[in-house]
Homo-oligomer: A and B are copies of this chain.
Amino acid sequence: MLYSLIDILGTIAFAISGVLVAMDKRLDVFGVFIIAFVTAVGGGTLRDVLIGNTPVGWMTQPNYTIIIIVTVIFSIVFAGRLKHFRKSLFLFDTIGIGLYTMIGIQKGLDAGLLPIMCIALGTMTACFGGVIRDILCNEIPVIFRREIYATVCILGGGIYFLILQFPVNPDIPYITGIICIIVLRLLAVKFKIALPSIYRK
């Protein structure tokens, strides 16, 4: 129930981030919709394809498509006012990546994969919708350059598997993982923490 709500809010936040990038490139309505769609479901789709979980998730669960269509329509109509919601959107986005990382990890466990691969799948689920969005818009993916949220997903995934070693209720590591990702990302953005540079000036 709570998870469903987070899932919906996350999907909306991801779709809006797609709409914003697509409108910045002045795509037409169809282009805007496709970019919103791949931003929202692209990470999970890539994950499903790589583990052979087909037909991929959004095909058998039409609710995502409906949420995205409604979000795109609202976003285009109220495009001028989206900036007033920037903080809420950032929050939904952050909560979304927390949940999606854990969903990806679960799918990896269901497929019998090692923890390191599950963390890779979780990070992919949370972050690669944005990667596909940027590629379709002819940009080098922003998470390869500035954003640190992939690193946050990896850390959250690691914490999940760490807590899983202890004899606790299985919900504990799941929820702790989500909360860690949310808190770490908020801290990273608040204090402008970036990965250490590997380049000399």
Nearest residue (CB) in B for A50 is B56
A172 at the interface (CB under 8 A from B): no
Q: Which of B26, B145, B151 sits near A27, CB closer than 8 Å?
A: B145
Q: Check A151–B56 contact: CB distance below 8 A.
A: no
Stoichiometry, as copies per complex, reads 3
A side interface size, CB within 8 A: 53
Are the C-beta atoms of B199 and A31 separated by less than 8 Å?
A: no
Shortest Cβ gap from A106 to chain B (Å):
15
Select the residue from A22, A27, A151, A197 with max chain B CB neighbours within 10 A. Answer: A27
Query: Distance (Å) between the CB of A65 and the closest chain B CB?
Result: 6
Q: With A50-B49, A52-B52, A62-B114 in contact, do A195 and B136 touch (Cβ < 8 Å)?
A: no
Tell me, in angstroms, the Cα distance from A36 to B99 when the chains sit together.
27
Contact A198 B23 (CB under 8 A): yes
Would you call A62 and B116 a contact (CB within 8 A)? yes
The residues of A with any CB-CB pair to B shorter than 8 Å are 22-23, 25-32, 34-35, 45, 49-52, 54-56, 59-60, 62, 65, 76, 79, 111, 113-114, 116-117, 120, 131, 135-141, 143-146, 148, 150-151, 194-199
